[in-house]
Structure 1
Amino acid sequence: MSQNPYRTSSLAQVGCEAAGDRWTLVFVRELRHSPEKVWAALTEPGQLAAWAPYTADRSLAEAGSATMTMIDDEHPQDMEVEVVRAEPPTLLEHTFGTDLLRWELAATDTGTRLTLRHTVQDRDWIPKVAAGWHLCFDVAEKLLEGRPIPPIRGASAAGFGWSELNDQYAHKLGIPNTGLPEDLKGQNEGP
């Protein structure tokens, strides 16, 4: 385990929904921050780079094309994405390769209920994606609190409990844990 001042938070409320021939992870996280503050973390490139596996070439607060740069390993990769919907500060929906991410923000008495709906090709990926987003959201929470810690993404996620989270989310969701495909082992164990 790293010397990083990080402790894994409790498992999130998660679900898995069939979406035609695809599957959607529903990941709910309660954050102690306003929807406006959470919205900025989801849409502003500088904030994204501090917690997510990617950053963007522009603010994601408006619909339209954008380039996301995957920064989860040693070789950053650009990916063309489309911001399908942007309704500040309540709804952000964008493509992510062949995936679709829908971020729903609802004000609560204590801050924001963030619901991520991440649609993927294969059901086997749901617990893996949940584990990766869990770590990313833990980092985002620290950033929003004004106590940032280094991002946890890519292969380094293994040192912060990604495998255990993958096991726990697989069990919680009732999805067999298939581990990572051979071509990704040691490369990317995050979202």
Structure 2
Amino acid sequence: MTDDGRLLTIDGRPALRFERRYRQPIDRVWRAVTAPEEMARWFPSNVEGDRAVGAALVFDDSAQRAADEEAGEPTRADGEIFRGHVVVHDPPNVFSFTWGGELLRIELHPDGDGTRLVFTHLLSHRSIAHRTGAGWHACLGELDRMLGVDVPVEDDWMSVFEEFVDRLGPELAHVDGDALVWERYSHVGPEEVRAALDRPEDWGGAPHADEAISWEVVPDEHGSIIRLRHEEIGDDAELAASWHALLVQLDMYLAAGQLLPVDGARFREAYASLLASRR
């Protein structure tokens, strides 16, 4: 059984859910998803702290980021280390904890001679589902291999990312009079977001920088809400799709410090329908 990232709504929040089945008994899988030395092999950081309800956790990802950078793969940009705390610790069935401003829940269920894993991530914002989903796809692939599942190592991370963009990508802009407005979320703070907006050449936005656009950056407890308003899209679905792609690029630039080009053509049909609907 494999469920590679479904987008759900839980308690009014967007969430991603992954499911796996392992042939090992539940106690073995429990160690893999809770023991610090085993989590370090598949989780995107070391998870430091006691495994007890209320215990503080520190997510030190310096070793993982160094390995990703050496391999030329996207990784989190420099910034504060994430912190959280244990919400549920119920061996060998549930381990749940906060991770920055988000909630992770790992559930294990006996399944014949093996174990069914249900991994749920409550997100800060719908717009990060594609990036987060692609990241967990890679991490859970490492867990699969650690537990003896024969899954291939994917060398082309960009293809994986594009698959999740197509399946879970951020919502289209909404129409506001003659304008289009996009809303996105980033885990980095407002100052860093504004600095990136002042350097559009870093994330591919320079050719469009002189258009009739305005940005709003709103502080959030664990990051920033970013809104883009474009006053002169008109009926130009290609331009709207280009901006949609640029915002995906901006998101990855803020998250990983890298420019990953995204083809706006994949969004053109959706924007043609959106723009036609307002006539």
Shift of 1:110: 4.9
Which structure ranks higher in relative contact order (CA pairs < 8 Å, sequence separation ≥ 6)?
1
Shift of 1:183: 2.2
- Partner SS for 2:125: coil
RMSD between superposed Cα atoms in Å: 3.2
CA gap 1:21/1:108 in 2 versus in 1, 3 angstroms: closer
Q: 1:51-105: CA deviations, max 9, x gaps?
A: 2111122353x22222221243136964321100011111111000011001111
Larger Rg over CA atoms: 2
**1:173 & 1:57 partners in 2: Cα distance?**
31
Conserved? CA contact 1:67–1:78, under 8 Å: yes
Partner of 2:65: 73
Shift of 1:146: 10
- Count of residue pairs brought into register by the alignment: 169
Shift of 1:124: 2.2
Q: Counting helix residues as a fraction of each chain, which structure ranks higher?
A: 2
- Alignment-mate amino acid for residue 156 of structure 2: G
Conserved? CA contact 1:23–1:123, under 8 Å: yes
Question: How does the TM-score come out when normalised to structure 1?
Answer: 0.73
- Partner SS for 1:42: helix
Conserved? CA contact 2:32–2:39, under 8 Å: yes
Partner of 1:130: 133
Partner of 1:164: 159
Shift of 1:115: 1.0
Question: How does the TM-score come out when normalised to structure 2?
Answer: 0.52
**2:259 & 2:85 partners in 1: Cα distance?**
23
Match of 1:84 among 67, 70, 87: 87
**1:188 & 1:113 partners in 2: Cα distance?**
37
Conserved? CA contact 2:26–2:108, under 8 Å: yes
Match of 2:254 among 180, 183, 186: 183
Within 5 Å, give how 1:142-161 maps onto structure 2. 142-145=145-148, 160-161=155-156
Q: 5+ unaligned residues in a row in structure 1: which ranges?
A: 1-9, 153-158
- Partner SS for 1:160: coil
Partner of 2:37: 46
CA gap 1:34/1:136 in 2 versus in 1, 3 angstroms: same
**1:174 & 1:146 partners in 2: Cα distance?**
28
- Alignment-mate amino acid for residue 23 of structure 1: P
**1:110 & 1:161 partners in 2: Cα distance?**
34
- Alignment-mate amino acid for residue 52 of structure 1: F
Match of 2:120 among 114, 117, 120: 117
CA gap 1:32/1:166 in 2 versus in 1, 3 angstroms: farther
Shift of 1:139: 1.2
**2:148 & 2:165 partners in 1: Cα distance?**
29
- Partner SS for 1:124: helix
**2:86 & 2:138 partners in 1: Cα distance?**
24
Residue 14 (structure 1) aligned with residue 5 (structure 2): yes
CA gap 1:146/1:19 in 2 versus in 1, 3 angstroms: closer
Partner of 2:108: 105
